[in-house]
Amino acid sequence: MQLTGLERYREAVRRAANWVEGMQSKNGGFGSFDADNTSSYLNEIPFADHGALLDPPTSDLTARCITLLAKVDRKGYRRAISAGIDFLRQEQEANGSWFGRWGTNYIYGTWSVLVALEAAGEDPCQPYIRRAVDWLKSMQRPDGGWGEDCGSYCDPHLAGRGCDSTSFQTAWAILGLMVAGEAHTPEVRRGVEFLIHSQREDGLWQDDVHTAPGFPRVFYLKYHGYDKYFPLWALACYHNLLFGQKYIENAGNRSGP
């Protein structure tokens, strides 16, 4: 029998998910390249002047792995997902946000975790999730957008702020809010308006700032695609959440092409 569609890839996806599950650290978190790579004394080696020889579990990577496992088989990977959520709850900052290792910074981390919690079926009304939502809302700038500078890796007091609003961080913020059930709120609407008004004539967005750390406090990167596809992703999600079903129903009622 010839397999079609998702069936063709089911076994490959399952094997990949099993491998990801096997990379979970003992504390429930996930790192980028290794498991349980947490021997902090190695950072004291003289030539390790950037203090980043290790690959410890981080909130954003843990969130990515939870999202994958939950979408593949939430019930089958429930133990790994539960341990990952426990890790994330322990890693949450006092202000309600989460640290972002691979994107700048707490806006990125908070969005990543909220996506994972939604995929895992966590009730968005739980206090710890509401704290994250409240933090994101509190970081919205007067122009409706969000912006965070890489200085927040040096000074946590700069979490969620430090630069003008950017399209990609605004997209992360409203994506995080929408998966937490906030699609109909004024904050999300104002974020969407910021993206629409900051779109260039060529249909894209442009932010001349760094988007992620290579190594926090050492060097930073700019992924030039971030300010192109994340805003489009956010706008598409917003449209689908507010108008998608109505659009589909109206299309089904049409008599012509």
Neighbouring residues of 160: CB distance < 8 A, sequence distance ≥ 6: 97, 106, 107, 135, 136, 138, 139, 146, 148, 152
Please report the pLDDT score of residue 55 as a whole number.
Answer: 81
Q: In this predicted structure, what is the pLDDT of residue 247?
A: 42
Helix (H/G/I), strand (E/B), else coil: 121: coil
| Mean pLDDT value of segment 199-212 | 93
User: Each residue of 145-182: pLDDT tens digit?
Assistant: 999 999 999 998 999 998 899 999 999 999 999 999 99
Lookup: tokens for 237:
């999600």
Give the SS3 label for residue 131: helix
List, for residues 157-167, the tens digit of each pLDDT value.
Answer: 999 998 899 99
Query: Contact 165/189 with Cβ under 8 angstroms?
Result: no
Which amino acid is present at 80? A
In angstroms, how far is the first alpha carbon of the chain from the final one? 36
Distance CA 253, CA 246 (A): 11
The DSSP annotation for 160-171 comes to: T-EEEEEHHHHH
Handedness of CA 148, 152, 153, 156 (dihedral sign): negative
Name the residue with higher pLDDT: 233 or 251.
233
pLDDT in tens, 54-112: 789 999 999 999 999 999 999 999 999 999 999 999 999 999 999 999 999 999 999 99
Report domain extents, the chain. Answer: 8-91, 124-243
